[in-house]
Chains A and B, each alone.
Chain A
């Protein structure tokens, strides 16, 4: 086996890796969309006036948050067929990522809602606005900017966790690299390429999130003035 970096091999595998990168981006996007919605449900569970539901909700969130995503993936992928539900690796992966990061996003939402000052609620009460109207027109427009940085961070987080999907056979970037590497008995170029592709995608994304964070902080500073 030849040591050192081989450019011809790198160029040979590049198209395959590029296609797999699209799959990774797709997986991250779909997983994120599901997580955004799941997060809303956990938020609802947290805010209903029923104590028991609050408690169950909190325990579920706690459990999902403190156990590894990897085993959750295995659990969904291997256990559901035992109950006669056979889903493709893609769907299993998307469900698990959605559930896992949904718990994190529900915390982001909660923090954002609590970031809206209590007096806003009182003012709406005084103006005789309905709860729904208060949420829609007063609270949510103020909470949303606060939530943006956290939401952005988890988008980057999901993107970086998509390689785990390869363990259940989702054909994303890391899976492609392992396949190419195993086929050619060369792991140097495929895995290094994966690293470079991740860097080139996630550093701009992280910078963009940081910029959003700054913008939001600035905007809030203006409100305080």
Chain B
């Protein structure tokens, strides 16, 4: 089991890489599409709505397989890792965009009016007044979503990314020590979620609350 320990560890590193990359991607996408969803321009709003409904309406696994096995039909061959990160980022970006939208709507109207009264232009209004205030609102639901993302990274193993799940499955097929290898994998995911990801996200929440001068939640 010792040699397999190293393999599992390497798999864990890949899982964390997938998690970090897709996290960055999904945060960027959520911001862009969350704002687009609130645009007064019907075309922009329509694009965002179609995107969000499409990615929320189909299953992540289907999107992943589509990105990896179907895109080559159109001449776009992505590496497994890239396909995985892109599919995860696009899927979770759709959910995240809804959170961002709700967060922006939750900023009190008075803030918009005050920014308007101070003659801030629209870009500055969003950037300096609204966006900094949405973080304390959106971070708690975004934290839940990010834990879901960690769990979803396991799916990239199915498009041949050599992550923790892939390694666990591989070791299982060599040793048939199913309880041990899947049990260890479950524990590793649990430890990442409970002792690394969640504390990090809580820390962000506290930071965001402090930034806008709110008491610790």
Contacting pair B193 A70 (CB below 8 A): no
A167 surroundings in chain B (CB, below 8 A): 158
Contact status of A191 and B186, CB under 8 A, knowing A68-B152, A68-B154, A206-B56: no
Interface size on B, residues (CB 8 A): 39
Complex interface residues of chain B between 139 and 195 (CB less than 8 A to chain A): 147, 150-155, 157-158, 165, 168-169, 172, 178-179, 182-183, 185-186, 189-190, 193-194
Chain B neighbourhood of A71, CB < 8 A: 154, 165, 168, 182, 185-186, 189
What residue of chain B has the Cβ atom nearest to residue A202's Cβ? B57
Q: A69-B151, A78-B182 are in contact. Are A202 and B70 (CB under 8 A)?
A: no
Taking a contact as CB atoms under 8 Å apart, the answer to whether A194 and B62 are in contact is yes
* Interface hit among A42-50, A59-67, A116-124, A136-144: A59-67
Between-chain CB contacts (< 8 Å), 30 pairs: A63-B186, A63-B190, A66-B147, A66-B150, A66-B151, A66-B189, A66-B194, A66-B198, A68-B151, A68-B154, A68-B155, A69-B151, A71-B182, A71-B185, A74-B182, A75-B182, A75-B183, A75-B186, A78-B172, A79-B178, A163-B61, A163-B62, A164-B61, A178-B65, A187-B70, A195-B66, A198-B62, A199-B58, A202-B56, A206-B57
13 A-B pairs besides A166-B61, A195-B62 with CB distance below 8 A are A67-B193, A68-B189, A70-B157, A71-B182, A74-B169, A74-B178, A75-B179, A79-B178, A82-B178, A192-B66, A195-B63, A199-B54, A206-B56
Binding site for B on A (CB under 8 A): 3-4, 62-63, 65-72, 74-75, 78-79, 82, 160-164, 166-167, 174, 178, 181, 187-188, 191-192, 194-195, 198-199, 202-203, 206
